[in-house]
Structure 1
């Protein structure tokens, strides 16, 4: 019990450190917000009329295009947060602060826990800002409070999973520049899914990939919760992907951190 208490105390200390660091250097946090906002502006105001007309007759389409595209762009805010985690962890590693922490009488788990929890808080704040911007642009969800809680819960689990994977990336990257580049595919994978257009409009091979990659069922679940479209098995598949990615990222990051301590 005492070990758990010490670990929780040290993790809280690391969390405060990372949140203070994020407030002092907000450029990475702003990137998480700015990129999805730019995409939302681009696809709603520049491409919205053409794309909205093209999908209006499809089963998953209909209504204003902002209602269709907003869930995918909001999810993109979660994937963008992966970049900040990878860079932040890598900076600590390359500047030597990790080695200093290893010589101190603190819980070994607290370093990663502080980074991951801090990044989840930052990313969920960014997601809230993107949702607010989407509402100002005309996004009109008709979800009940329970459906809102379910949607935000799913986004939180996804953010946690991507954050653990990004922590592992930060530990293996040789420098912050590499750490910022490796998570880029995660940021743009929602576009090779149903974020912008229904997968029914894609060629067969690309459609198969889009239907079976992790982000499409999550986007469809968010769309169903917020807008009342059919969810089907998407919720179960999307949540399974989130849990699997979270477990893989957690185990990878913890083992990589322990391996670094033995060198």
Structure 2
């Protein structure tokens, strides 16, 4: 079952064509990899999918039953259709605690009204208590509970990455977009990330799309891979098909990719 369709999507910045007529069809529960050289258009595509950029042409459809077109939606609205992301450069609230960072992730889904908040009605306290308990559950699952009162800026790099993912999951997405999650990680942390991403998919019943330059990670966990070059989608297929694609090897992977 498709959870995302991209039809002939393009994004131009003046005379620069960052993304050109890209079409994708993403199935529920897949782990998808987006690879390509720096400047190939991968992060631009993420920004289009999340409403940060408006497409020059083409369409993105998330909720296929309701026909939710991101061309008509702002980022905070897209969140309601089950989309969450992390960034290449970690974007946490550095001077807030670990717990407060996760609580911020629940913000878009809070149900109480302004009136109940102002007058501190029972519905307000009930929602606050439920949200707090859910945040603690996420911290338990990500092994961060013992650090809930620490400032985010004091965490190790690996813990900051996990916290950012936990905060994204607080929005209860259907699709999780990970922008270079292994960036800056050592081999041990990358190996742990491999298991973490697969665990997230199974535990939270998610579709995951990731941008990544670490080919060992991509080849090990992705069911399908899309290859970008100069804003164009130049190849797609299983990891084995991508490793054997001559155009991809010459343009990006190199012969060493065959050893992954």
As a proportion of its length, which structure holds more helix? Answer: 1
Give me the TM-score of the superposition, normalised by structure 2: 0.27
As a proportion of its length, which structure holds more strand? Answer: 2
